[in-house]
Amino acid sequence: MRLLIVDDEVIIRTGLASVIAWNELGIELLAPAASAEEALTRMAEERPHILMTDIRMTGKTGLELADEGLQLLPELEVIILSGYDDFAYAQQAIRQGVTDYLLKTSKPEEIIKTVLQAKQRITDRWAEKSREGRLLRENRQRLFEKWVIDGDVSTGPCPAFLKPGVVEFADVSLGGEQVYQQVFIIQAKGWSRSSAALLRFAVQNMLEDLLPGAIAHIQKKQIIGIVQLTANIKQELQYTLKAVLNHMEQLLKCSLRAAIGHPVCGEMHLHDSYKTASAAFQYLGLLQDKIWGIEQVSHRKGGKTLLTHEEETALGTLLLDNDPVVLTTWTQELVRELMMDPEVTPESFHACLQSAVIAGHRWLVRTMRAIGREEPARYEPWQPEPDADAADLRDMLFHHLYGLMHTYYSQMGQGQASHVQKAIAYIESGLAQDISLQQVAGQVHLHPGHLSELFKKETGITFGDFVTNMRIRRAMEMLAVSPAKVSEVAAISGYEDVKYFSRLFKKHTGKTPSEFREEAYSFKPSGS
């Protein structure tokens, strides 16, 4: 695809020609023209596809050049270069059929984006005009997905474009040696949401230009590539690909990361390489590397998947504090701890975050019941986006837990009753702690004596009796459903001395913990 730059200022036209590696974007740069008149004499023969012209020049203006150029080449894409003072002209240019305009002060990445958009419009028009070409492209995409992504190789011969050929890779000829193929998956970020598809289009094209024999395919938000290599250089793919990605990042002003699958011998096994690349790609949010292979993560057994009881208690306590800053710190520390684990996997990472969500939901249900308020009929499930990385998941977790905290406080109300309700919720959340009247009073910002009076007035029992009743109720619930030892139930309920716990339990229920458990189990349906 050919580009002609026209500007009567030599520093502008030579700067535009040299500051950007046009050939690496799939653009053939024609010799820049110094005037509209020169451009018009050359356009009939050189037939550029994209014209980038200054709006004001000695002789014919850029608008006149655009008008005559479009008459000569009706499908010409015209990009006007203007200064701040030429904005009115630029608006007129858009009305005359000019497709885009740029300020002369635009950064190289803005110029690249604009030219790539023009290139894509041209490519789309070509595809629309050529039914046969469009069908071939669609068929190529379908076959790539069928063979590489779906692994469906039983319904026909392998398409020629997927078969390894004789190419040059890293200055080494692959002819005469056993050729391997290896799938890699790239994430491209850094452009705006509206330009994300254009960025993937640019990366796809540049990959095929910069890696001889490579095939690139866009699948949703990923670029899937296949490269050919021999046994003696297959270990070098990671270094070669890193150099290519670094080069593209500098040119496109974006961020690229890639996961590499196992090398395979024979196109029948491309799906196996894709599966391992896809498995490696799942570690996108858990690794700091720009490029990594499946062999770097395949040995991992999985890290922590559940919050401990102490962590659940701490989460409940901080949710009661209604402090977004503290909640932010807690989610950051949880994610950092999980990522530091050398055995962490995407499955264990997601499971532990889900455990935090469930703990938050349990806290809300428990506290709402404890203060006698009706809990919301339904909670929105936590459904992170499939391509979210660790930072995204951390933020999503924070917002979900913050929503639970907000739900609680939006129903709390004000006044003396709310002080007692907050105290009850705090007791419920910190049941395993050594809870004292002074501690709870400090949490709700009241004098201990005043809180004690309010507590008796609102609940009909003393603070101490309320705490004991709540702890015994929690112990009864655990004994009825959990196989935990009586000593463990006592500790979780806030009693280190199991004998004291047993005496207190019998005083409140008329049964020892063991007797209570036996009776609870005897009422269970068979098989449960």
Q: Per the structure block, which two tokens stand in for 517?
A: 């458990």
Task: Give the pLDDT score at 278.
Answer: 95
Task: Give the pLDDT score at 452.
Answer: 87
DSSP states of 137-158 as a string?
A: HHHHHHHHIIIIIS---SSSPP
Cα separation values, 105 from 74, 112, 157, Å: 29, 13, 53
Q: Per the structure block, which two tokens stand in for 100?
A: 């885009």
Cα separation values, 207 from 278, 354, 498, Å: 19, 37, 68
Burial pattern 337-368, b for ≥16 Cβ within 10 A else e, equals ebbebeebbbebbbbbbbbbbebbbebbebbb
Q: Where are the alpha helices (DSSP H) in 150-296?
A: 196-210, 237-252, 270-281
Residue 196 backbone dihedrals phi, psi, to 5 degrees: -60, -40
Residue 313 backbone dihedrals phi, psi, to 5 degrees: -65, -45
Residue with tokens 């969500």, as numbered in its chain:
357
* 376 phi-psi bin (left φ>0, alpha ψ -120 to 50, beta other): beta
> Do 65 and 33 form a contact (C-beta atoms < 8 A)?
no
**Can you tell me the distance from the alpha carbon of 462 to that of 198, in angstroms, rounded to the nearest whole number?**
68
> Do 36 and 53 form a contact (C-beta atoms < 8 A)?
yes
Edge-first strand order for the sheet with 2-6 is 28-29, 2-6, 50-54, 77-82, 100-103
The dihedral formed by the CA atoms of 478, 479, 480 and 482, expressed in degrees to the nearest 10? 70
Residue 478 backbone dihedrals phi, psi, to 5 degrees: -70, -40
Task: Give the pLDDT score at 217.
Answer: 93
Beta bridge partners of 223: 186, 218
**Can you tell me the distance from the alpha carbon of 362 to that of 226, in angstroms, rounded to the nearest whole number?**
47
Task: Give the pLDDT score at 171.
Answer: 44
The 3-state DSSP class for residue 78 equals: strand
* 229 phi-psi bin (left φ>0, alpha ψ -120 to 50, beta other): beta
DSSP states of 453-490 as a string?
A: HHHHHHHSS-HHHHHHHHHHHHHHHHHHH----HHHHH
Residue 293, H or E segment: strand 291-293
DSSP state of 59: S
Task: Give the pLDDT score at 233.
Answer: 58
**Can you tell me the distance from the alpha carbon of 161 to that of 225, in angstroms, rounded to the nearest whole number?**
13
Encode pLDDT of 362-387 as tens digits.
888 877 776 666 655 556 677 777 66
Residue 5's nearest CA partner among 175, 486, 16 is 16
Residue 3's nearest CA partner among 20, 160, 197, 289 is 20
**Can you tell me the distance from the alpha carbon of 245 to that of 257, in angstroms, rounded to the nearest whole number?**
8
Looking at this protein, which amino acid is placed at residue 42?
Answer: R
Task: Give the pLDDT score at 373.
Answer: 65
**Can you tell me the distance from the alpha carbon of 316 to that of 221, in angstroms, rounded to the nearest whole number?**
37
Residue 125's nearest CA partner among 93, 102, 94, 99 is 99
The low-confidence residues of the chain, meaning pLDDT below 70, are 84-97, 131, 133, 165-177, 231-235, 370-380, 386-387, 411-418, 428-434, 523-528
Task: Give the pLDDT score at 169.
Answer: 46
